[in-house]
Copies of this chain bind each other. A is one copy, B any other.
């Protein structure tokens, strides 16, 4: 393999051919049972990605494969796992895959083997969690810890929260409940920490303070909030230092601070939104569920990561998902994607994907800093089915825009108890609804009453599994991370920085310090009672 080359999407032949291709296939003609069987790609952890209900035929898939080669998507992924500086804006390697396993060559930084570093941190976390679970580490009044509260925002919140919620029921069914129940404090709105802290037995609560830089305004403020509440509570108060660990970078101010039971480390090669499989997610999930559950989760993610290295599009689920997304965004012109898990346990998973996708690929310049002349990352949103059916599906079926859909479903629920009602179990009803929606969106239905006419031709994919377990959850997470990465490569953008958050930060500082203020900002700050 020679050096990689980087071109904008619209400079590739395959993209031009895709745009010109006529006639475009109709979903109602495509969607035959044989296709439902054959358009399936293993996605790791027992998951299967199915694209039968996407508006792509053999010609289009062929051109998408050409596009994958032209943009060297898999080669770039291979380079990434081998330590190429893929975060070009910040001049950093991108190593979240390495938290899950060694996919490429050994990666050294400052003489340190980074795979070993990530494993070591996870070992330290597991050892600490075991002491907490055994009651060897206790709160300042001697009570064993029963609750763990993640204090973090963005990537330090959304991913770990979504994953915790995804596994909490599983743990209740399989392990008699989580070892420790988790709560989350993220927003700088004082109503959030007040509410969470008022409802907990603080004597039995361990806090995990997470900020890579050690400078995140919201998180430091909430840490101060927690400390003040601890000091205020009960007779003489609690010693916050006996109730808090930190997760941060080795060179951050937090790493040098006193007042933690322990500190676990991450580094600059793990972006916030990609940090669920690092100490950022690992600390919370290991404390909540124990070492084994988190290891299974990493294993599932690693399995998906390995599958992503397959050059053949029809055997690489993340790559196929990514390229169909490019086709929908840049050829068909669809601005939004909805993620619709038919599993209540995944109720906050769409909120995590929203960050993952929109923060990674919501960019208007390419990796060289030149404005691109095509659309990049779409808006991503979603809610669990069947709930969404009774909410926004009306627009999905009969609105004026087409929104591509990403369904997720499992044969079995996490709990074993189910009820038979009018001839079927709840789980069967859930999945009958899911199957029905895919077909309804694809094929529509003619009706003389125009109000009841369904145009169809609304494409969807399905990721399905046997059951939502730690392993399948790991694969699910990695699938989307890799999909987003491939799309970023195809668009020739840097998916690994987030400069778009900086301006708001600096204007906030101005408003708080009441200096150098834009006059309109001053007025808004006044109206909102700032100063």
- Cα(A512)–Cα(B426), bound, Å: 11
Contacting chain B: which of A182-190, A258-266, A482-490?
A: A182-190
CB <8 Å contact, B429 and A508:
yes
CB <8 Å contact, A413 and B376:
no
A531: chain B residues at CB < 8 Å are 428
- Cα(A46)–Cα(B354), bound, Å: 33
Near B by CB (< 8 A), chain A positions 208-248 give 217-218, 220-222, 224-225, 228-229
A392: chain B residues at CB < 8 Å are 354-355, 358-359, 362, 379-380
CB <8 Å contact, B429 and A188:
yes
Most B C-beta atoms less than 10 A away, residue of A37, A387, A390, A449:
A390
- Cα(A359)–Cα(B395), bound, Å: 6
A396: chain B residues at CB < 8 Å are 362, 500
- Cα(A336)–Cα(B462), bound, Å: 24
A372: chain B residues at CB < 8 Å are 400
Interface flags for A153-168 (1: CB within 8 Å of B; 0: not) read: 1110110000000001
A314 at the B interface (CB under 8 A): no
Interface size for A (C-beta < 8 A) is: 155
A267: chain B residues at CB < 8 Å are none
A251 at the B interface (CB under 8 A): no
Most B C-beta atoms less than 10 A away, residue of A224, A225, A397, A528:
A528
A57 at the B interface (CB under 8 A): no
- Cα(A418)–Cα(B418), bound, Å: 45
- Cα(A464)–Cα(B523), bound, Å: 13
Name the CB-closest residue of B to A455.
B364
Interface flags for A409-441 (1: CB within 8 Å of B; 0: not) read: 101111101110111111111111111111110
CB <8 Å contact, B342 and A189:
yes
Name the CB-closest residue of B to A48.
B527
CB <8 Å contact, A387 and B187:
yes
A497 at the B interface (CB under 8 A): yes
